[in-house]
Amino acid sequence: MKPEHLQLLLVREMPFGKYKGTVIADLPGNYLAWFSREGFPRGELGELLAIMYELDHNDLRALLDPLKPTSSQRAPK
């Protein structure tokens, strides 16, 4: 895992599926677990989903809290 992956979890959105447009860090655990069982996509997206699954599965989502941008740091949509 690269340190920049943690930042990407907070800004990268799911490009497809039921949760299209949802930031990876906000995906529900059962959705991440489904990918873990069925296989993560190839490439960076799969790496990010696998990291987020491990954080969720090990109850470590709070590790991302200090990295979350404040409302003044978020880019407008």
pLDDT digits (tens, 9 = 90+) for 36-62: 999 999 999 999 999 999 999 999 999
Its pTM stands at: 0.85
Kindly provide the residue ranges of all beta strands, DSSP E only, lying in 5-53, ordered along the sequence: none
Q: Tell me, what DSSP letter sits at residue 39?
A: -
In this model, does residue 18 exceed pLDDT 60? yes
pLDDT at position 56: 96
Q: At what angle do helices 43-57 and 29-38 cross, to 10 degrees?
A: 120
pLDDT at position 3: 81
Q: Which of 5, 10, 3 is nearest to 47 (CA)?
A: 5
Q: Tell me, what DSSP letter sits at residue 30?
A: H
Q: Are 13 and 23 in contact (CB under 8 A)?
A: yes
